[in-house]
Amino acid sequence: MLEELTLEQLKKEKPDVYNSVFELGVEEGAKKGFEDGKAKEKERAIAILKKSKSFKDATDLAIDAVEKGISFDQATISFQEKQLEGLKKATPPDVGPDADEAKGKGKTHLEKAHAYKSEHKCSMTEALKATAEKRK
């Protein structure tokens, strides 16, 4: 008849059996942990490389992300930032009478009118008329 054997009893009564089972467990655990880690790393690298295909000129960023161990989400953010930077550069210039003012080269018509109104104590309509630039 088998009696219930506890871990403490096994340690005490059969230390050689306990040690060999323990070592086998550690080896198997390490092996399983290594395999799981390898699979997760492969999955992360493939996901980053696939995601980079949907962004223009993101290959170098993707390789860098894989090499540095950057997360998939962080890599995606770097792809988006690069794309946004390119879009900002490709934006057409402002047009119209206030184009220079929008770039910071001067005051807008409305700002000029407010200043004129304060200076000459007149209505906003009169200030807008007075500060309007004549079209060519």
Locate 31 and state its tokens. Answer: 């092996």
What's the pLDDT score for residue 16? 87
CA gap 41, 48 in Å, rounded = 11
Residues 6+ apart with CB under 8 A from 76: 51
What's the pLDDT score for residue 23? 86
In three-state secondary structure terms, 129 is helix
Question: How crowded is residue 81: how many other Cβ atoms within 10 Å of its Cβ?
Answer: 11
CA gap 98, 55 in Å, rounded = 34
What's the pLDDT score for residue 26? 85
What's the pLDDT score for residue 2? 59
Cβ(52)–Cβ(61) below 8 Å: yes
What's the pLDDT score for residue 102? 55
**Residue of 56, 112, 100 whose CA lies nearest to 79:** 56
Residue by residue, pLDDT tens for the chain (136 residues) are 457 778 788 788 888 888 888 888 888 888 888 899 899 999 999 999 999 998 888 888 999 999 999 999 999 999 999 988 888 887 777 676 666 555 555 677 888 899 999 999 999 999 999 988 776 6
What's the pLDDT score for residue 77? 93
What's the pLDDT score for residue 68? 92
Q: Report the largest interatomic distance among the alpha carbons of the chain, rounded to a whole angstrom.
A: 111
What stretch of H or E contains 62?
helix 59-68
What's the pLDDT score for residue 125? 93
Cβ(28)–Cβ(21) below 8 Å: no
